[in-house]
Amino acid sequence: MTTPSNPFDPNAWLSLWTRALNPGADAPADRRFAADAWQKDPRFAPLAQGYLQLSALMNQALDAAPLDERSKGQWSFALRQVVDAMSPANCLATNPEALQTALDSGGASLVEGARLFLADMSQGRIAMSDGEAFEVGRNLATTPGSVVFENELMQLIQYTPVTPQVHQRPLLIVPPCINKFYILDLQPENSLVAYAVAQGHTVFLVSWRNVGPELGHLGWDDYIEQGVLQAVTVTRRISRADRVNTLGFCIGGTLLASALAVAAARDEQPVASLTLLTTMLDFSDTGELGLMVDEAMVAAREASIGQGGLLRGRELAQVFAALRANDLIWPYVVNGYLKGQAPAAFDLLFWNGDDTNLPGPMYCWYLRQTYLENRLCEPGGTVQCGVPVDLSLIDVPAFVYASREDHIVPWQTAYASTHLLGGDSRFVLGASGHIAGVINPPAKRKRHHWTGAVQPEASDWLEAAQQVDGSWWPDWTDWLRPHAGALVAAPRKAGNSEFPVIEAAPGRYVKTAAA
């Protein structure tokens, strides 16, 4: 589809309506309007064409507006929400597919759509997956293991080895605390946890508690001390290893790096390597999420929940969905409410709807110190657990992974971590987005990734990088193997006398729903 170059030229608007009334000359290239009725029916094709060209003109007008980049980005986000909502595909009267489905079903699709709408209203969210198809511990998070430690904030899971020998140094995984850990252990065929176990690693994993009001007083330091550092200590005591390998995903990586910097400030180096998956340590470019954070917003949060209270997981989920409304909101409105089609069973989207609450003080500290003031990347810029934090003191090998189409952690921002950490870094860039890029098992032979030596700038790295077909997981395990120590007999049971088994994995904490 072509649009006029000057949105303020009256001829641009004349061209818009001319093309809208002659849709065959310029068929819309948009999956919302891919059906024949949108392209050939004279009642609906002009709607699709007119909508798309009007949207393009509005975006061009915003691009030409005399605004600074941040203001333009904020207005662009707001405009996209309005434009996406105004799509003729979202309205029954202007959606030929929904109308035809209603005719073919004798109105049954509309009755079912109303039922789905009321069900979603009662839950307070748009369902993206069949809520009855999955259950944590039954067909999600099923990798065998045991909970070997717990406190008020987290449980520590030790997974059962499947190889006769394991590497001497275990692998400790710190998942994000804003979501449930089982994104890394969805089902056996796409479980990063199961894959790591199969490679001969004794895997430990932090399962964060879905906090309620009684834990609304916890702060960032609690997540460092009671969470990450406690998990490192228990993992070392159970494995009797000199050091452990560590992996952090998203904000779990931010917590992990912060904890290791705290340990370094205490003259401790308890880990042999650090893996960061789609993690930000330098928050100078935070993408569209950063556009929503300013002094007034953070101050309001601090006043309301900064001294105690909860950030509800549902609120975060709505923000993330708004970043990709045409993927995570409107398709489910159209298919569900207009066409009467219940969402299919999809493990990743089931996980996406499993909300997790955060303590207000922890969330507010994170917002101010990272997204608003970007102090974490400054040596001594933050004081955590009573010590000034300097990421360059983390003098261990690091594997830094980013996803090229990540809308939450821009890959260039993740790349900046290679220059903040004190040890040698390897950077790998995967295809796809924040989640799909990470959860890419080798057996599926999907996508590709890029590898190359670390360069001064991200653009230099990409220019010199080599594209490799398939998953990045084998590259990571090849890198991790030399840091994992010699092979020893696999442990016959989980835990030890100091840390006996509490319950079977995945444990109670991950099954707790957000109130």
**Environment class of 514 (CB within 10 Å of its CB; exposed 0-12, middle 13-18, buried 19+):** middle
CA 382 to the chain's CA centroid: 25
Q: Which residue has the tokens 């990272």?
A: 370
Q: Which residues pair with 402 in a beta bridge?
A: 429
Using omega within 30 degrees of 0 as the cis cutoff, is the peptide bond preceding 506 cis?
Answer: yes
Residues 181, 208 contacting (CB under 8 angstroms): yes
Q: Which residue has the tokens 């997956």?
A: 129
Checking DSSP bridges between strand 244-249 and strand 271-277, what pairing results, if any? parallel
Q: Which residue has the tokens 């910097």?
A: 261
Half-sphere exposure of 320 (CA within 13 A, CB side): 17
CA distances from 398 to 182, 247, 352, 418, 483 (A): 24, 10, 28, 8, 11
Over 292-361, what HEC string results? Answer: CCCHHHHHHHHHHHCCCCEECHHHHHHHHHHHCHHHHCHHHHHHHHHCCCCCCCCHHHHHHCCCCCEEHH
Residues 404, 429 contacting (CB under 8 angstroms): yes
CA distances from 262 to 98, 268, 344 (A): 57, 9, 45
Separation of alpha carbons 499 and 486, rounded Å: 24
Separation of alpha carbons 181 and 336, rounded Å: 28
Residues 406, 413 contacting (CB under 8 angstroms): no
The helix (run of H) or strand (run of E) holding residue 150 is: strand 145-150
DSSP string, 252-298: HHHHHHHHHHHHHHTT---EEEEEEES--S--S--HHHHHT--HHHH
Token pair in block for residue 85: 């909502």
Residues 395, 269 contacting (CB under 8 angstroms): yes
* Whether 250 is catalytic: yes
Among 431, 403, 471, 502, CA closest to 149: 502
The helix (run of H) or strand (run of E) holding residue 172 is: strand 171-174
Residues 6 or more apart in contact with residue 71 via CB below 8 angstroms: none
Residues 125, 312 contacting (CB under 8 angstroms): no
Q: Which residue has the tokens 């969905």?
A: 321
Q: Catalytic one among 250, 364, 377, 385?
A: 250
Active site residues: 250
